[in-house]
Amino acid sequence: MKIRKRENMTRELQEKLESYQRVWAEVDLDAIWENMVHMKENIAENTKILAVIKTDGYGHGGVPIAKMLEQLDFMFGYAAATYEEAHVLREEGVKKPILILGYTFPYCYEELIREEIRPAVYRRDTVEELATAASKVGKKAKVHIKVDTGMGRIGITPDEEGLEFVRFLMEHPELEVEGIFTHFAKSDETDKTSANHQLELFQDFIKKIQTELGLTIPVKHCSNSAAILEMPQANMDMVRAGITTYGLYPSEEVSKDIVPLRAAMSLYSHIVYCKTIHAGQSVSYGGLFTAQKDTRVATIPVGYGDGYPRSLSGKGYVLIRGKKAPILGRVCMDQFMVDISEIPGVMEGDKVTLLGVDGTERITAEELGELSGRFNYEFVCDLGKRIPRVYRQHGEITEVRDYFENF
């Protein structure tokens, strides 16, 4: 993958954008910055933020976002899902702490320690193997203990068995316990009973660690995006900003009035073909759409091969010249068709908005998620590497990431 940075390259970047006729995504870095600032305004003064940039920043591009957010003093660091994601950030010069939220496999322990990447720990064999790797490297491994208070996924239990694990961990001086965390399962619901119960279990367990084991853990964290918005009692030392980083809300049940967020991503294409079909003619695989009258049809060169959901077939729409154009028939791997009968003057080469704003109309990830039977997280995460990402800040293109330049 070739990366272009803004070093007297404004004209080159603009020319690059103009070459993206088939499809491209634009990421508004100003929106992400503002989202972070607004979230910080809603949490305690001494509480830090961990930006969750797994899955390549939820499809937005983890590296450019991490590099920009390095400048914010209230940023503790970043969260990844795998060592490979964390390693890429280090390779690109990201300096702040990186936490791996899931399981980390032993093959990378030595490199992980050298790069000061923090793994989550909750298995005894992980502790032992990390200790061995740390001895070889000659450097302590910083770790965060994962506690399962109700998610039912990974983590030690907040009981005597969990205390025994922490005691076992403390017997390995090669490891430094920097943090402890849990994850809410239902904080994005209106009823916070479950989330508050998890919080209580977590707080009680931390107290037991302190009183019974004499261990004070510096960084305690449990809040995800929904809890940042609606659970100030769960701020603790740090919060983890996931989907809200990118201007999307975690569910329709959380309030959108507490923290103003601005969606960072837009998705565009161009019309490659226009035609008129007549009554009785069908469109796309299976002939799911059959015209009842003369219908103007435009072909868009994007499909599920790009991560655009096939489940939007016959349900979704795009924006052309500021108006809605419904999808006709099935979305193909690389193309789909829309009805342009009610949009005057449409021609080949016209810009198409698949996600974002055109005039007074807007298509949101939430809407596309609902129409496709998915949700907003899934839509943005699934947008593939055939789609170049164009980054804008302060009104200018600052970087382009084209995954096919070295293909």
Rounded mean pLDDT, 326-346: 98
Q: Which residues are catalytic?
A: 54, 285
Tell which CATH classification among 1.10.3720.10, 1.20.140.10, 3.30.1280.10, 2.40.37.10 matches the domain 265-387: 2.40.37.10
The answer, yes or no, to whether residue 395 has pLDDT greater than 50, is: yes
Predicted pLDDT of residue 368: 95
DSSP 352-407: EEEEEEETTEEE-HHHHHHHTTS-HHHHHHT--TTS-EEEEETTEEEEEEETTTT-
Q: Mean per-residue pLDDT for 335-342?
A: 98
pTM comes to: 0.93
271-290 pLDDT per residue, tens: 999 999 999 999 999 999 99
Please report the pLDDT score of residue 6 as a whole number. 45
Structure confidence at residue 166 (pLDDT): 98
Helix and strand numbers, DSSP H then E, in the chain: 12, 22
Q: Which CATH code of 3.80.10.10, 3.40.50.300, 3.30.70.141, 3.20.20.10 fits the domain covering 29-245?
A: 3.20.20.10
CATH 3.20.20.10 residue ranges for the chain = 29-245
pLDDT band at 8; cut points 50, 70, 90 = low
Q: Give CA separation, 202 vs 41, 44, 74, 221, in Å.
A: 25, 19, 24, 10
Query: Is residue 193 predicted with pLDDT exceeding 80?
Result: yes
Is a pLDDT exceeding 50 seen at residue 386?
Answer: yes
Q: How confident is the model at residue 9 (pLDDT cuts 50, 70, 90)?
A: low
Q: What is the CA 255 to chain-centroid distance, rounded?
A: 20
pLDDT, mean of residues 373-397: 93
Q: What is the mean predicted confidence (pLDDT) over 377-395?
A: 94
**Confidence bin at 20 (pLDDT 50/70/90):** confident
pLDDT tops 80 at residue 406: no
Q: Which residue has the higher pLDDT, 2 or 320?
A: 320
Query: Would you state the pLDDT for residue 204?
Result: 98
Domain with CATH 2.40.37.10 in the chain: 265-387
Structure tokens at 30: 């100003």
Task: Give the pLDDT score at 374.
Answer: 87
For residue 38, is pLDDT > 80?
A: yes
Give me the chain's average pLDDT, please.
95
Q: Report the DSSP beta bridge partners of residue 399.
A: 5, 391
pLDDT in tens, 292-304: 999 999 999 999 9
Strand positions, DSSP E, 29-97: 48-52, 75-80
Q: Is the pLDDT of residue 316 over 70?
A: yes
pLDDT in tens, 147-168: 999 999 999 999 999 999 999 9
Across 6-25, average pLDDT: 75
- In this prediction, residue 19 carries a pLDDT of 75
- In this predicted structure, the answer to whether residue 32 has a pLDDT above a threshold of 60 is yes
Total residues belonging to the chain = 407
Quote the pLDDT of residue 13: 72
* pLDDT for position 18: 74
